[in-house]
Amino acid sequence: MRYMAVCMTSPIPRKCVYVWGKKTVSTSKPYYWHLESAKSLVTPHEATTAGYATLALERNRLSVPFTEQARALRFIASEARSPKDLLQIQEIQPALLTAAGVSDKASSHMRTHDRKEAVKELIREFLKPAGSSFVEVLVRRFRRAREATLGGSMRNIGGVLAVRKLSRAIISNLTLAGIPYQWLHSSNNTWAAGTEKNADIELNLRGLSWSNRSKTRTLIYNLTVPDVKKNVDICLLNCRPRDYKTAYRKLSLYVALGELKGGIDPAGADEHWKTAGTAFARIRKAFSARRLRPHLFFIGAAIENGMAGEIWRELEEGSLSNAANLTDSNQVASLCRWLCSI
C-alpha cells in the first residue's frame, strides 16, 4: 500500500511500461522498487568495512602468481655462484630486467644491448654489494617491482569488481525470468550463449545481450559514445548483439546509459559523483541536441549523505531514471530487473 500511495501522489514526468517475464509493471519511477528516500542510498559503515576486506582478498588473489614466480626465481638463481653468473641463465633474463626496474612495456622497446646493460647495472649496484645474499636481494627487488605493478592495477580494481557484481546480478535476473542471453568475451570479442555452466563468465565479460518479448537489448561496458566523445561505463542499446559495432554510432538506438563507480573509500565518494555528474551533463547535451532522452542511471559503492541527497533530488526531478548502492544486493537486483525490462 505504501508503494502505491507514493507512486500515485508523486508527480509523473513521463509514463513508462516495463514488461518482465509475464508481469507488466507500469511506473515512471522504478527506483521506488528499492528506495524509500535519500537515506536508502547511503553506504553503511559495515558495507564500507566489508568492501575494504573484499579488496584485500582480491589483492591477495592477484598476488599469488607473483609469489610463485619469486619462488621459482629463487630456485633457479641459486644455481649461480656469483651475481655475474646470473647472466648465463637465459630463462631468468626477463626477471632480471624486472628486478632492475624495467617494465615489460619498456623492455619491449629496448634493444638487446640496452637490456643487458640494465641487468649489468643491477648486478653492479645491488647484487655484488650484497655478497652471499645476492639471490635474496634479487628476489626481493623482483617482488617489489611486481607488487608495484599490482598496485597500479589495484587502483581500478574497484571498478573491475563492480562490473563483475553488476554482470552477475543481470545474469541472475535473466536466468530467473527464463530469458536466454548471450555474453561478449572481453579478450576475443566474440559472442557466446549463456548457460548455467558459465560460473565465472563475469571475469571475462564485456557485454550481455537478451531478448524480452519483442525487444532485443545489448549492454556494453566502457563504450565511447559518438557526440558525447567520452567513455560511458554502461550503455544499453536497442540492437542485436552482432550489430552493436555499428548500432552504437546511432544515438537513437541508446535505451539507457549509466555510470558505475566501484570505489569504496568514503573520501573519494564526492569525487566519483562529481565525475558521474559531468558525464551525465555531456550525455544530456549530446542527446538533447537530437531531441532524444535515454534513461540515465547511477550505481555507486561509496555514497555519503550529501551525495545521496543530490542523487535523490535528480531522481525525483526526472534527471535520473534510477540509482542504486552497489553494496546493497537488493538495490542492485532491483535496478538490474529494471534494466532487463526496459
Q: Which domains does the chain have, with CATH numbers?
A: 2-33+156-339 (3.40.91.10), 64-154 (1.10.238.90)
**Amino acid present at 42:** V
Q: Measured between alpha carbons, how far is 141 from 27 in angstroms, rounded to an integer?
A: 59
Residue with cell 576475443: 188
185: which strand partners?
A: 205
Neighbours of 18 (CB within 10 A): 18
Cβ–Cβ < 8 Å for 251, 287: yes
Give pLDDT tens digits along the chain (342 positions): 333 333 333 333 334 454 544 444 445 799 999 999 999 999 999 999 998 888 888 888 878 888 899 999 999 999 999 999 999 999 999 999 999 999 888 888 899 899 999 999 999 999 999 999 999 999 999 998 887 777 655 567 888 899 999 999 999 999 999 999 999 998 888 999 988 777 778 888 999 999 987 899 999 999 999 999 899 999 999 999 999 999 999 999 999 999 999 999 999 899 999 999 999 999 999 999 999 999 999 999 999 999 999 999 999 999 999 999 999 999 999 999 999 999
pTM of the model: 0.76
Q: Which helix (H) or strand (E) holds 224?
A: strand 215-225
Cβ–Cβ < 8 Å for 274, 251: no
Dump the DSSP string for 10-49: S--SS--EEEETTEEEE-S-GGGGT-SSGGGGSPPHHHHH
Cβ–Cβ < 8 Å for 332, 165: yes
Q: Measured between alpha carbons, how far is 283 from 226 in angstroms, rounded to an integer?
A: 10
Q: Which helix (H) or strand (E) holds 158?
A: helix 157-176
